[in-house]
Chain A
Amino acid sequence: MIRTMLLLSAMTTAVSAFAADEPSVHVQQPHLQGPRELQETTAKAVVQNYLDSWQSMRKALDQNRTDLIDRDFVGSAREKLAATIKQQAAAGVHTTYRDRSHDVQILFYSPEGLSIQLADDVEYDVQLSSGAKSLGTQQVKTRYIVVLTPSEVRWRVRIFQAEAQ
């Protein structure tokens, strides 16, 4: 399993390195609690779907479009993100997120297989713009705790929460 995850890590990092706009991604070996074994394909899918969710979130918050998060977010994560998008639209602003690096570790695979929790030490830039005018950019380094649940064809983010540093 360790070898599998290291391989996954190496693969993901290598893939990311080809595209300059893509964040660098490192996947640590899982530090699992729970009796359920995590298969390699499941781990790969969860991490990939989670990274995809950043792209959806980035576009949705940049364009203030709630429909862009439907594929990747569900439950309270979707509700909170959709509310933010509406608040941004009402305030006449938008935010541009650029995730620069992810360091992902799967923490928990629930015994019944209905949720996977991961932690992501992420570095990103966030720019706030009012109309076409940028009000500034901040560099952020924080840790996200994320819970994903399976849907028909992919894992979707149900809890998406940054921890206080």
Chain B
Amino acid sequence: MRAEIPTLLGGLALGITSALAQTGDLTIPKSIEAGAAFTIQCGGSGKGTLYIAGPAQLIKQDIQLGSSVEIASGSLFNAGHYAVWCASESSAQTGSIDVRPAQKPSDLTFIAKPSRLPVALHNAITGSAYVFDTYGNLITKPMQISFQLANQGSAPQTRTMETRSGAAWTQMDSAPHEGKAQFTARVGDVSSTRIVGQVPGDPCNIKMSARPAGNKIQLVTEPVKDCSGNAISDGTIVTFTAAYGAEKTTVDVPLKKGIASVEIPAHRGATISVASGVVLGNQIRWAQ
């Protein structure tokens, strides 16, 4: 029973607050759009002070009780819930007002990942976006947002999504051909673009040929390409391996203008192979 006393007192205190709220006629709109002008009327007479308080904003204004108070356009602009007090020396009237985000999108936070990736990967590019109004409020009302990934030489991929609580996301395929793609998110008149670099994938196959060069063998690959036909970047390492009896010679060669070339000692009966990363090329048995 003792434990209930503070609760009772607390309830009484809240009851007083409520009673004060009912002593006057506080007229206030239930909700407004961010930045809109509106009118508050506090009951009673004499001078008082109006407080509109929330975590996102506070407005204090001296008022004449019983008269309408105009809150100017652009004054209360951060979306959220606000508690309202009309305070005088002897009483306080309370109410509340919700501020909704403006309906028109004005800004877009758009994150695209990754910024660089191999070609021809399914759903490998992701984009996520949040939509804001002119005051930086998250627009939580569902909106259509379009995502477009435009590559040179191929039709753009487009997805239209609906925002949920202000957020939307999508996934896109990387293009079959290397190059920079423009990844754009658009809602209403607002858009944001990110650049996604698409680079060749792993080599698809490697073919080399061999010919005598004095007492050596010259090994040369054909232009090394990925499975979509994109030339593999210069600098990619190609490994030549020659096995002769118990002896084994390995040479790493960077691609130069798309091909790799090297000279190795010639041994009759040697087995020569070529590889890049995990991709194996053809094998040659040197018979000369």
Residues of A within 8 A of B (CB): 33-35, 57, 61, 76, 80-81, 83-84, 87-88, 91, 93, 95, 97, 107-108, 110-112, 114-115, 117, 119, 126, 128, 130, 135-140, 142, 145, 147, 159-165
Q: Please pick, from A57, A93, A112, A130, the residue contacting B111 in the complex, using a CB distance under 8 A.
A: A112
Taking a contact as CB atoms under 8 Å apart, the answer to whether A33 and B57 are in contact is no
21 pairs across A/B with beta carbons < 8 Å? Answer: A34-B128, A81-B55, A87-B57, A87-B58, A112-B128, A114-B128, A117-B165, A126-B53, A128-B85, A135-B51, A135-B85, A140-B96, A142-B98, A145-B138, A145-B140, A145-B165, A145-B166, A160-B56, A161-B56, A162-B81, A164-B99
* B167 is an interface residue with CB less than 8 A from chain A: yes
* B136 is an interface residue with CB less than 8 A from chain A: yes
Residues of B88-102 at the interface with A, using a CB-CB cut-off of 8 Å, are 92, 94, 96, 98-101
Contacts of B96 in A (CB 8 A): 138, 140
Taking a contact as CB atoms under 8 Å apart, the answer to whether A128 and B53 are in contact is yes
Main secondary structure of the interface of B (DSSP, over half): strand
Contacts of A87 in B (CB 8 A): 57-60
Contacts of B127 in A (CB 8 A): 111
Residues of B within 8 A of A (CB): 13-14, 17, 20-21, 31, 51, 53-60, 78-81, 83, 85, 87, 92, 94, 96, 98-101, 111, 113, 123, 126-128, 130, 136-138, 140, 164-167, 169, 171
Bound-state CA distance A48–B130 (Å) is 23
Bound-state CA distance A136–B128 (Å) is 43
Taking a contact as CB atoms under 8 Å apart, the answer to whether A159 and B138 are in contact is yes
Bound-state CA distance A163–B165 (Å) is 10
Contacts of B123 in A (CB 8 A): 35
What are the 4 closest A-B residue pairs judged by CB atoms, nearest first? A111-B126, A164-B98, A112-B113, A91-B60
Chain B, residue nearest A119 (CB):
B165
Q: Please pick, from A35, A117, A162, the residue contacting B54 in the complex, using a CB distance under 8 A.
A: A162
Bound-state CA distance A35–B21 (Å) is 49
Contacts of A114 in B (CB 8 A): 111, 128
Taking a contact as CB atoms under 8 Å apart, the answer to whether B53 and A95 are in contact is yes
Contacts of B140 in A (CB 8 A): 145, 161, 163
Taking a contact as CB atoms under 8 Å apart, the answer to whether A84 and B17 are in contact is no
CB distance from B183 to the nearest CB of A (A): 12
Knowing that A161-B56, A164-B79, A164-B100 touch, tell me 18 more A-B residue pairs with CB under 8 angstroms.
A87-B58, A93-B51, A97-B55, A108-B167, A110-B128, A112-B113, A112-B126, A114-B111, A114-B128, A115-B111, A135-B85, A138-B17, A139-B14, A147-B130, A160-B55, A161-B80, A161-B138, A162-B80
Contacts of B51 in A (CB 8 A): 91, 93, 128, 135
CB distance from B128 to the nearest CB of A (A): 4
CB distance from A113 to the nearest CB of B (A): 9
Bound-state CA distance A89–B43 (Å) is 27
Bound-state CA distance A160–B92 (Å) is 29
Bound-state CA distance A162–B53 (Å) is 13
Taking a contact as CB atoms under 8 Å apart, the answer to whether A84 and B100 are in contact is no
Contacts of B21 in A (CB 8 A): 136
Bound-state CA distance A135–B99 (Å) is 22
Bound-state CA distance A36–B85 (Å) is 45
Bound-state CA distance A97–B94 (Å) is 16
Known contacts A76-B136, A126-B53, A140-B83: A159-B164 contact under CB 8 Å: no
Chain A, residue nearest B51 (CB):
A128
